[in-house]
Amino acid sequence: MIYLTRRAEFSASHYYHNPALSPEENRRIFGKCNNPHGHGHNYTLEVTIAGEIDPATGMVLNIRDLKELLQSEVLDRMDHRFLNAEVPAFASRIPTTENISIEIWNLIAAKLTFGRLHRVRLYETPDLYVDYYGA
């Protein structure tokens, strides 16, 4: 078994707000992230695929296939978007880095035809990231 990780970057804006909570509670819990005008990040995404090496190619997968998958499933949907308003999954879920990583996992897992999705790591800033392993 070998693990291959591909990195991709996208920029997006978001804000944190739970309509079930009062404005005061939203401000207390989410602080500056509750600004309704939104704010943005340069996200760095690392997607790790596990698999066996194909003896014919010496590769666990064709990087080009993974690159295209990340482009169509993640970057085309999220890059330079306002996540709350433009990504359907976040109409009803707060686009925290935690929830974005789960959504990215689901988007990739639904279309992956090679290897096994092992981990989604998403950096919100160089000093903060989350890991999701699918459960």
Partner 1 sequence: MIDLTRRYRFAAAHRLHSRSLTAEENARIYGKCNNPYGHGHNYILDVTVAGPVDAATGMVFDVAKLDLVVRQSVLEPLDHAHLNLDVDRFQNLTPTTENLCMEIYGILSANLTHEPGKAFLKRVRLEETSSNYFEYEG
From the candidates 33, 86, 98, 118, give the one annotated as an active-site residue.
Answer: 33
Which listed range, 23-31, 47-55, 70-78, 109-117, lies at the site for partner 1 (CB under 8 A)? Answer: 23-31
Strand, coil or helix: 107: helix
R_g over Cα of the chain? 17
d(CA 29, CA 21): 10
d(CA 96, CA 26): 14
d(CA 130, CA 133): 10
Is position 124 annotated as part of the catalytic site? yes
* DSSP-derived secondary structure letter, 75: I
Which listed range, 2-10, 58-66, 99-107, 109-117, lies at the site for partner 1 (CB under 8 A)? Answer: 99-107
Nearer to partner 1, 14 or 81 (CB): 14
| Span 101-130, contacts to partner 1 by CB under 8 A | 101-102, 126-130
The site for partner 1 (CB under 8 A) is made up of 16, 18, 20-21, 29-31, 93-99, 101-102, 126-133, 135
Positions marked catalytic: 33, 80, 124
